């Protein structure tokens, strides 16, 4: 191998590492700019999760109107995989724990309303950590890693990873007043 070929390989490796470092720094600073962001030192992790393609099919629904938009006789209009999981996450987060007896005591969150309105950044982080633990416990079969929870205006953003999709997913959860 000639010296210019070695320099070319070293340059390519340096570029790849550089872009990876830039992406990491951007992710860190994105959360630093937002005072309402919780990011654990290490992601919260579940082991032995199912592949996202195995997640149950469900009706598509409009969370704001509460109307079902999917048609059970036409599977192309039904929610599958990450779409279904996001719908379930939204319902879980906006449902106050214990509000609906049919779901049982473990469904929903203590922070269903307050996390959308909390003005103190430290209290937001405490609530987001509790929410993250609840989400990871309830969805232990489906969510592999939870990276962060942040709030932008009236929307929570949960950043997570599932088995079967290489990239990180985001679930945007709008504030729905009861």
| Record: fold of 36-174 | Nuclear Transport Factor 2; Chain: A, (3.10.450)
Residue 42 Rama label (left phi>0; alpha psi -120 to 50; beta) = beta
How many beta carbons lie within 10 A of that of residue 129, not counting itself? 15
Please, what is the Cα angle at 78 between 96 and 150, to 5 degrees? 40
Helices 121-138 and 81-94 pack at an angle, to 10 degrees, of 130
Q: Tell me the pLDDT tens digit for each residue of 22-79.
A: 544 445 444 445 689 999 999 999 999 999 999 888 888 777 777 777 666 776 677 7
Residue with token string 């009861």: 178
The secondary structure of residue 71, as a DSSP letter, is B
Report residue 20's pLDDT band, with 50, 70 and 90 as the boundaries: low
Which residue pairs, CB below 8 angstroms and at least 24 apart, start in 118-122?
118/36, 121/35, 121/36
Report the mean per-residue pLDDT for the chain: 81
Query: Which of 113, 149, 117, 142 lies closest to 31, judged by CA?
Result: 149
Tokens of residue 123, six digits: 């209290």
pLDDT at 115: 93
pLDDT at 142: 93
Q: Tell me the pLDDT tens digit for each residue of 129-158.
A: 999 999 999 999 999 999 999 999 889 999
């Amino acid at each position: 191998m000639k010296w210019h070929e070695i320099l070319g390989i070293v340059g390519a490796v340096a570029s790849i590492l550089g872009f990876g470092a830039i992406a990491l720094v951007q992710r860190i600073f994105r959360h630093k700019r937002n005072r309402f962001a919780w990011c654990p030192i290490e992601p919260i992790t579940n082991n032995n999760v199912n592949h996202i393609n195995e997640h149950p099919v469900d009706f598509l629904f409009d969370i704001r109107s509460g109307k079902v938009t999917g048609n059970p006789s036409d599977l192309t209009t039904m929610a599958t995989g990450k779409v279904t999981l996001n719908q379930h996450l939204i319902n879980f987060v906006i449902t106050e724990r214990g509000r609906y007896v049919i779901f049982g005591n473990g469904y929903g969150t203590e922070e269903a309303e307050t996390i959308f309105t909390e003005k103190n950044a430290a209290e937001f982080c405490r609530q987001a950590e509790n929410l993250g633990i609840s989400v990871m416990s309830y969805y232990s079969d489906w969510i592999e890693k939870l990276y962060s929870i942040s709030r932008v205006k009236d929307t929570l953003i949960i950043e997570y990873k599932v088995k079967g999709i290489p990239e990180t997913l985001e679930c945007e959860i709008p504030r729905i007043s009861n």
